[in-house]
Structure 1
Amino acid sequence: MVHRLMVCTTCASTWENGKKIGISGGEILFQELTGLYQSWGDRSNFDICAIACMSACSHACVVTFASPAKPSYVFGDLPSDAERVGDTAAAILQCAEIYRDRPNGLMAWKERPEPLRNGVIARIPPL
């Protein structure tokens, strides 16, 4: 079964006069994730992709786990600052493994890594 990890790259952007300035927190998180993803053993079961905006700006940074027969999870309020982005990225991939291993995709609060425990924005039923 194919799973997808989507990362909002507009999250935690700085804007001036309607133009984005510098690199966003979402881009930093995506870069960290893609670096870890290259050595991650589960690449054959997960695609990772950048999404221009997930419209959860008040909860930056945002990622989503999705799969055709499972509910999609949208997580927000994920740290992307230099001191914590490595831990955040590792926790996301750890959570991705839990999601992958569940036939129904459901993840209990207590089994999720710390950065993903309180940041659930939505659990969207499968189509």
Structure 2
Amino acid sequence: MVTSVSHTLFVCTTCASVWQDGKRIGESGGQKLLNKLQNLAENWELRDQFPIQAVECMSACNRSCVVAFAAEGKLTYLFGDLVVDDSISAVLECASKYYAKENGLLPWSERPEPLKKGILAKIPSLS
């Protein structure tokens, strides 16, 4: 497993928000997704090596809820269309697979079902 590379799981907290008069009303779907991921990750073996980071907006509003996997020297993946209650364990499972891959490549056939059809971007690494 890769251990020297810094990994991050980004979660958009403004996804699936309800807005009124320029102000968010209630808890967004993204915030719910973040909260549930953080709760499940308390027992996740990679919680210290693959921190979960809230992001105010990832500009994929029409495909919410959105998460991204990023690491130095690896592909970056952006996934959307995630249903909060149906994708929590799948996100952490896929993050574990991403962590284990030297280049971060996540073939379609190896991704959990909720992350097979919701891919928004696969961005090459800088190195």
What TM-score, normalized to structure 2?
0.93
1:112 lines up with 2:111 in the alignment: yes
Q: Secondary structure at the match of 1:97?
A: helix
Root mean square deviation, CA, Å: 0.7
Rounded Cα–Cα distance in structure 2 between residues aligned with 1:97 and 1:8: 19
1:44 lines up with 2:39 in the alignment: no
Tell me, yes or no, if the aligned pair for 1:2 and 1:47 is still in contact at 8 Å.
no
Encode CA deviations 1:21-41: one digit per residue, 9 max, x unaligned: 000000000000000111111
Q: Report the AA paired with residue 71 of structure 1.
A: L
Picking from 24, 30, 44, the partner of 1:20 is 24
**Percent identity of equivalent pairs:** 51
Superposition pairs of residues 1-127 of structure 1, within 5 angstroms: 1-80=5-84, 85=85, 87-127=86-126
Rounded Cα–Cα distance in structure 1 between residues aligned with 2:99 and 2:13: 23
**Corresponding pairs, count:** 122
How many angstroms does 1:88 deviate by?
0.9
Contiguous gaps of at least 5 residues in structure 1: none
Encode CA deviations 1:86-105: one digit per residue, 9 max, x unaligned: x4110000000110111011
Point out 4+ residue stretches in structure 1 off by more than 4 angstroms.
none
Rounded Cα–Cα distance in structure 2 between residues aligned with 1:40 and 1:105: 19
Q: Report the AA paired with residue 46 of structure 1.
A: F
Q: Secondary structure at the match of 1:33?
A: helix
Tell me, yes or no, if the aligned pair for 1:76 and 1:121 is still in contact at 8 Å.
yes
Q: Secondary structure at the match of 1:6?
A: strand
